[in-house]
Amino acid sequence: MSTPQEQPFDVDAVMAQLTLEEKVSLASGSDFWHTQGVERLGVPAVMVTDGPHGLRKQAGESDHVGLNDSVPATCFPPAAGLASTWDPDLLRRVGAALGDECRAEQVAVLLGPGVNMKRSPLCGRNFEYFSEDPLLAGELAAALVQGVQSRGVGTSLKHFAANNQETERISVSAEVDERTLREIYLPAFERVVTQAQPWTVMCSYNKVNGVYASQDPWLLTQVLREDWGFEGLVVSDWGAVDERWRGVAAGLDLEMPASGGSGDASIREAIADGHLSTEELDVVVRRNLQLLERALPALAPGQTFDADAHHALAREAAQQSAVLLANDGVLPLDPTTGGRIAVIGEMARSPRYQGAGSSQVSPTRLDDALTALREGTSREVVFAAGYVPEPAEGEGADDALVAEAVGAARGAEVAVLFLGLPASWESEGYDREHLDLPGGQFALLEAVRGVCDRVVVVLSNGSAVAVDGWAHHADALLEGWLLGQAGGAATADLLYGAVSPSGRLAETVPVRIEDTPAYGAFPGDSGVVRYREGLLIGYRWYDTRRAPVSFPFGHGLTYTTFAHTDLAVRATGAGQDARVAVTLTVRNTGDRAGAEVVQVYAAPQDAGVFRPEQELVGFARVDLEPGAAQQVSLTLSARDLGHWSEVHRRWVLEGGRYEVRVGASSRDVRQRAVVDVEGEDLVALLTPRSEAGTWLEHPVAGPDLRSRLGDAAAMLDDAQHGRMMRAIPLVRLTRFPGFPVDEADLPALADAANAAR
C-alpha cells in the first residue's frame, strides 16, 4: 500500500469517486504511524513518524513514548542544542539530512520540529524545544523545515499551541490572554508557517482557554489559516482528539493514530444528525489527499543516505551547539604538552545525548567524550566515574566513587568533570521538580576541586540547571546541552581548541527557581495553568525587572574576542511600511578564528502600552578569521517593532522613539542608538463613554469640545484636579449640574470625529 505511483496522484479524480464511508475513513490513521489508504482507488497509506532531531521509525512494536526500538538513524543534537547555534544555515543542512533519512526509510512526514516556548526551565520537554524567544525559535525552525521539505519530505510543526509543560499535558487548560498568545506563544508557529509552509501542523493535547486545541476553530482555522495563510494539513497529537466531529468542523484534518473506529463513528453520527456537513468533511478529506500528492514522489524504494557524512554533520552541529559559559583561560587544553588530564564523570563514558520520549532515536553510532579526549591528545588521560548515573532522589555522593575520582585528580594538571542531569529526570510526559544537579555531583566537584587547581566542568542537560551554588569551583564551564550522537567527539574538539566554541544561550540560566517568571504559576493545578507573567517570559522578565541571572540570554564565549563598531540606524517609511535599517561592523580582535552572534534588541521609549524592557528583533551569526571584519546589515519591520493591540485586535506600530541595542547578549549591549519611528494613526474610536481626556486628545473632537466647554475647560486642565476629571467618561460629566455640553449631542459629535479620521 505504501508504494508510490507511476502516475501523478489526481486529487480531484479521487475526490469524485470516494464514497461517504471512504471519506470518513480518510480523516484518521490506519494504525500507529500510517495514514489510511483506499485500495479500490489506488490511494496509498503513507508513514509519518518522529522526529524531530532524528528519525524514529519503528519497524516492530509501535508506541509514541519511546518504549520500543526504532531503525538506526543519525541522532542530531536535540533542539536545545541546535538552538544555541543561532545558525539557520546549519539548521537547513541538518533538515536536508533528516529529509534524506526519511526518504531512505520511505517516511512521508517527519513529526517535528517543536517550537513551544520555554516558559519554565522545568518543562520536561524543553530539550525538544528551541528557546524562550519566539523570533529565535521561529527562524531556526523555519530553516529546519525548509531543509527537510527541500528533499520532498514533509514536517509537522508542533505542538500547536500553548503546550509549555508536561504536567497534565493531555488535559490542562492553558489560560493565556490574547496579546500574550499573539506576541509570545504563537509567533514562532506563525514565522514557520509564513516562511516555510510546513506540510503539516500538529495540534497539542491541552486546552487553550478552555477549548481542546484539537477542536478549536479559532486556533486551527482563524489564526492558522485565515490570519497566517497555512496551506497544509492539521494532524492531532497522538491521542489528542476528544470529539472527532468537532475537530473536523474546527479544521483538524487527520486524527492520529487510528482510534479503533471511534473517530469514524463520531463523524458519521454528526453528519447524520446534522451537526456536521459533508462539505466540511470534504475539506479535510481533500487536505489528506493533497498531502499524499505532495509526499508520493519522494517515496520511491531503494534510496539510501550517507551515514558517515551525516555523522560528520552531527559533529559539526554539536560543535556549534555547546555554549562556553565561563573560562578564566584554562581552555582550550593543549593536546600535545602538559601533565595528566583527569576525566571524571560517568557521562564522559556513557553520554547523555538526547532526551526521553517520542523523540528518542536509535543512533547509527555513538561517540563518547572519554574516547575522543584520549584519542585527541598525546597527554596522559585517566578516568574515574565519580557518581552513579541514576541516583535516587535526594541520594548523596557515593563515597567510594568520589574517593576514586579524588585519586585520579590528585596530581593531574587539569580535571575535566562531566556533570549533568540523570536521563530519567528529563522526559516527555513529566516535568522536572527542581533546577539542581543531583546532590552527589556537588560533593564530587568540591572534593575534586580540593585536590586539583584547574577544573573544567562540562554539563549535559536538556534545559537550564542552577549553577550559582557551585560554578565558582570551575575555571571553565561548558554547557553541552544534549549533543546528539557525535557530541563526544565534538566536546573533545572544543576542549582541545580544534574548534572555537560558538554557541550562545537560547535560554536564560536563572539563579534560582524562585526567580523564574512562571514560579508559582507553573504547572498550575486543578486542570488549569494561568500564564500570569504574561509577556514577561525568559529574558523579557529578568531584564524588565532588572533581576540578576547566572548567565543571560544570548551569552556565550569563544576562544577569541570581537569588537562591535560603527552602529548606524536609519528609519524610513511610516505606519505598516516603516522600516529601520541597522548596520554595524564586527571585527575579530583575537588570534583565533571564531563566530560572533550579533544580537539586535529593540526598546520602545514612548510606548502607550506596557512593553517588555527589550525584545530580540534580529540576529546574525558571523564567522571571522583573526583580524577580519564584516559589516552586518539588518532591516527591522513595523511588525518587529510593534505590538498586538487588544483595542485594534491586530499588530500595530506606535510612533515614537525606539532604542536599538546591539550586542553579544541581552546584558552585554555594546552599542545603542535611538531612532524616531513614524507610527500608525492609532487614534481610538470615540464613544460617549470615552474618558473626557481621550476626547480632549482627539485631533478632531478635542478642539471642538474645548470650544464648547468655554471656561469650564479650566477645571479639566487644572493642575491638581484635572487629571481626576479627565478620567471621567464624558457622558458622565455631561450629567453633572451645569456642565456646558449636552448628553444628547455626544453620539453625533463622536460619529463626526470618527468619520473625520
Site membership for ligand BGC, residue 670 (CB under 6 A): no
Does residue 212 belong to the site contacting ligand BGC (CB under 6 A)?
no
Q: How far is the CB of 614 from ligand BGC (least distance, A)?
A: 32
Query: Is position 64 an interface residue for ligand BGC (rule: CB under 6 A)?
Result: yes
State the cell numbers at 342.
583527569
Letters for 442-481 (x = contact with ligand BGC by CB under 6 A, - = none) are: ----------------------------------------
Site for ligand BGC contains 426 (CB under 6 A)? no
Rounded to the nearest whole angstrom, what is the least distance from the CB of residue 257 to ligand BGC in the complex?
Answer: 8
Minimum distance, C-beta of residue 484 to ligand BGC, in the bound complex (Å):
18
Each residue 700-729 as x (binds ligand BGC by CB under 6 A) or -, in order, gives ------------------------------
- Smallest distance from ligand BGC to CB 237, Å: 5
User: Which of 51, 179, 236, 82 shows the shortest CA–CA distance to 536?
Assistant: 179
Q: Report the distance separating Cα 354 and Cα 460, nearest Å.
A: 9
Which C-beta is closer to ligand BGC: that of 50 or that of 493? 50
HSE-up (13 A, CA, CB side) for residue 717: 10
Candidate residues 53, 92, 119, 158; the one interacting with ligand BGC per rule CB under 6 A: 158
CA distances from 29 to 199, 259, 262, 291 (A): 17, 8, 12, 13
Q: Which is nearer to ligand BGC, 65 or 309 (CB)?
A: 65
Cα–Cα distance measured from residue 253 to residue 200, given in angstroms and rounded to the nearest whole number: 10
Task: Write out the DSSP string of 243-255.
Answer: SHHHHHHHT--BB
Contacts of 292 (CB under 8 A, 6+ apart): 9, 35, 43, 44, 46, 108
57 binds ligand BGC (CB under 6 A): no
Q: What does the alpha-carbon distance between residue 10 and residue 12 come to, in Å, rounded to a whole number?
A: 6
Question: 50 or 346: whose CB is closer to ligand BGC?
Answer: 50
Question: Where do the DSSP E strands lie in 204-340?
Answer: 207-208, 211-212, 233-236, 323-327
Beta bridge partners of 154: 109
Nearer to ligand BGC, 166 or 533 (CB): 166
Helix (H, G, I), strand (E, B) or coil at 743: helix
Helix (H, G, I), strand (E, B) or coil at 577: helix
In the complex, what is the shortest distance from the CB of residue 92 to ligand BGC, in angstroms, rounded to a whole number?
22
* Interface mask toward ligand BGC for 270-309; x: CB under 6 A: ----------------------------------------
Closest separation in Å from C-beta 241 to ligand BGC:
13
Total binding residues toward ligand BGC, as defined by CB under 6 A: 8
Q: Shortest gap between Cβ of 69 and ligand BGC (angstroms)? A: 14
* Range 372-407 burial, b when 16+ CB lie within 10 A, else e: bbbebbebebbbbbbbebebeeeeebbeebbebbbe
Nearest distance, CB of residue 686 and ligand BGC, angstroms: 48
Q: Which helix (H) or strand (E) holds 382?
A: strand 381-384
Q: Which residue out of 87, 237, 436, 515 is catalytically annotated?
A: 237
C-beta closer to ligand BGC: residue 238 or 425: 238
User: 307-346 mask for ligand BGC (x: CB under 6 A)?
Assistant: ----------------------------------------
Shortest Å distance, C-beta 417 to ligand BGC: 33
Q: Does 34 bind ligand BGC (CB under 6 A)?
A: no
Q: Which is nearer to ligand BGC, 159 or 449 (CB)?
A: 159
Shortest gap between Cβ of 111 and ligand BGC (angstroms)?
Answer: 4
Cell numbers at 280, concatenated: 466540511
Q: Which is nearer to ligand BGC, 238 or 542 (CB)?
A: 238
Calculate the dihedral angle through the C-alpha atoms of 634, 638, 641, 643, rounding to the nearest 10 degrees: -150
Answer for which of 100, 139, 190, 237 binds ligand BGC (CB under 6 A) is 237
Does 358 participate in binding ligand BGC (rule CB under 6 A)? Answer: yes
Q: Does 235 bind ligand BGC (CB under 6 A)?
A: no
453 noted as active-site residue: no
Letters for 94-133 (x = contact with ligand BGC by CB under 6 A, - = none) are -----------------x----------------------
Which strand (E) or helix (H) includes residue 585?
strand 579-588
Q: How far apart are CA 331 and CA 456, in angstroms?
A: 8
Cβ-based neighbours of 273, under 8 Å, separated by 6 or more: none
Residue 111 or 753 having the CB closest to ligand BGC: 111
Q: What is the DSSP letter of 224?
A: I
DSSP states of 11-70? HHHHHHH--HHHHHHHTB-SSSSB---BGGGTB---EEEE-SSS----SSS--SSS-S--
CB contact set of 188 (below 8 Å; sequence gap of 6+): 115, 117, 130, 134, 135, 137, 138, 141
Per CB under 6 A, does 253 bind ligand BGC? no
Is residue 238 close enough to count as binding ligand BGC by CB under 6 A? yes
* Total number of residues shown for the chain: 757
Kindly state whether residue 255 participates in binding ligand BGC, applying the rule CB under 6 A. no
Does residue 391 have a cis bond before it (omega within 30 degrees)?
no
CB of 169 or CB of 182, closer to ligand BGC: 169
Give CA–CA dist 401/407, Å, rounded.
10
CB of 415: closest distance to ligand BGC in angstroms?
A: 39
Q: Is 50 in the site for ligand BGC (CB under 6 A)?
A: yes
Residue 135 · residue 184 · CB < 8 Å: no
For the chain, the farthest-separated pair of C-alpha atoms sits apart, in whole angstroms, at 96
DSSP letter at 186 equals: S
Question: What is the Cα–Cα distance from 256 to 237, expressed in whole angstroms?
Answer: 7
DSSP bridge partners of 255: 28
Please tell me whether residue 182 binds ligand BGC under the rule CB under 6 A: no
C-alpha to C-alpha distance for 589 and 639, rounded to whole angstroms: 35
Q: Does 578 bind ligand BGC (CB under 6 A)?
A: no
Q: Does 496 bind ligand BGC (CB under 6 A)?
A: no
Contact 584, 568 (CB under 8 A): yes
CA distance linking residue 621 with residue 91, whole number of Å: 13
Contact residues for ligand BGC, defined by CB under 6 A: 50-51, 64, 111, 158, 237-238, 358
- Which positions are catalytic? 237
